Structure 1
Amino acid sequence: METLPTGISVLDREFGGGLPSGSLVVLKADPASQSELIVDRFSRPRECRYLTTVRSADAVEASLVLDEEREGDNGDGTEGDDGDTVVEETDREDPIDDVLAAAADLPERATLVVDSVEPLEAADRSRYGSFLTDLRGHVAESGGIAVIHALKGENGQNRTVTEQIADVVFDLRTTVTGTEIVNRLIVPKFRGGAALEEPLKLKLTDTVSVDTSRDIA
């Protein structure tokens, strides 16, 4: 099984080069967090089809351009851009068919981003489960990776289905205190590899890097 870089060097080191090809990856995060930075980095190492279900394509493209202007190795942070990203808006009422069509046409070893998954999870459980199974099949056939951005909040029972079918689950936990904002990335599930034994403390400002500051109780 081939390993594909994530676009975030610290994660690639932790996972022995990246994520297994054919993986369905879920990134869970608070809506008010800087999780979009992580999603943007996932889109950069290879060709990418970026499907936005809520934001406009123009807004997504603008954020990707800003990220590209800041690219470069930041010491455990971001790496260069080696692929083209095509951003498309899905049908706001019924995005499932658009996502499956993009997955079926995914270039070899490319990345498919779904940002975010909540409109798809609104489908009935049977249809949504079939959708995820078909999505995994298309991604495995292309030898690429699918990244699903899953925002935390008022999620129904289909969020359980999302996490159950996913091969890898990233859980970004953002804690706000009176003096700082702390972001910890937890990897509780890694099918085909080893999950992280401890949370990874990240610094999410305008880039993604390791937070080397010490926790003081």
Structure 2
Amino acid sequence: MRDRLPTGVDVLDRKLDGGIPAGSTVALCAEPASQAELLLHELTATRGTLYITLGRTEEAVADSIANSSTRTGEPTIRHVSGDAPIDNAAKLVSALPEASNLIVDPVDVLERESHDRYRNFLNELQNHIHNTQGLAILHCLAGNHLPQGRDTTRHMADVVFDLETRVGSDSIENRLTVPKFRGGRALTDVVKLELADSVAIDTSRDIA
């Protein structure tokens, strides 16, 4: 079994037998209005991290991490913009050192590029992450208008995390499922998470 890399979320790592196999690419799919960023923030505390932002500015991401009440590290943050986002992102990925984290947030911008160019980008990313025994997290925004490359992301990813946020009249439920897990065992149950100021297991209600 490949070495496991912790996600920084203790309750999740226990369920995943210690974490995610080194060299894996993970698709984290969550709604834009969810607190999925807490999962990304806690990941930065585990090892050196390159945080590629394709939406918010470097300053906005840095402020968000600095003001987070959960455990965080000091990631290198780079904003990718312009007419060639895949080329710019690929240059940053190619320089990623050994045993590092890569966060791409959100990957939607790249998923809207041509199919062949995006697929080639994912192949090169996965090859580099595998060779350096690192961990890549692709933050995929779930919603009504998914990018054309979303199926490609989920197909090529080694691990898929689906975070569903349900807003009720008096409560918010966050349900995490792991339907795909190459190099390990997919979770057969739903994990209820509390996503407030940190990530924890929600034990207040049973899964219906």
TM-score by length of 2: 0.94
Match of 2:95 in 1: 105
**Identity %, equivalent residues:** 44
The reply to whether residue 132 of structure 1 matches residue 122 of structure 2 is yes
Q: Give, in angstroms, the shift of residue 200 of structure 1.
A: 0.3
Match of 1:150 in 2: 140
Match of 1:3 in 2: 4
Match of 1:168 in 2: 159
The reply to whether residue 116 of structure 1 matches residue 116 of structure 2 is no
SS at match of 1:148: strand
The reply to whether residue 89 of structure 1 matches residue 90 of structure 2 is no
Distance between the aligned counterparts of 1:100 and 1:144, measured in 2? 16
> Cα gap change, 1:29/1:216 in structure 2, threshold over 3 Å: closer, same or farther?
closer
Does the 8 A contact of 1:54 with 1:92 survive in 2?
A: no
Does the 8 A contact of 1:21 with 1:140 survive in 2?
A: yes
What are the superposed Cα offsets for residues 15-70 of structure 1, whole Å, 9 maximum, x if unpaired? Answer: 11111011000100000111111111122200000000001111110111122xx3
Q: Give, in angstroms, the shift of residue 93 of structure 1.
A: 3.1
Distance between the aligned counterparts of 1:91 and 1:141, measured in 2? 27
Give the number of aligned pairs.
206
> Cα gap change, 1:43/1:92 in structure 2, threshold over 3 Å: closer, same or farther?
farther
SS at match of 1:46: coil
Q: Give, in angstroms, the shift of residue 216 of structure 1.
A: 8.2
Root-mean-square deviation (CA), in Å?
1.4
Match of 2:183 in 1: 192
Aligned partner of 1:32: which letter? A
> Cα gap change, 1:17/1:216 in structure 2, threshold over 3 Å: closer, same or farther?
closer
Does the 8 A contact of 1:174 with 1:181 survive in 2?
A: yes
> Cα gap change, 1:177/1:124 in structure 2, threshold over 3 Å: closer, same or farther?
same
Match of 1:215 in 2: 206
Does the 8 A contact of 1:128 with 1:158 survive in 2?
A: yes
Q: What are structure 1's unaligned runs of at least 5 residues?
A: 72-79
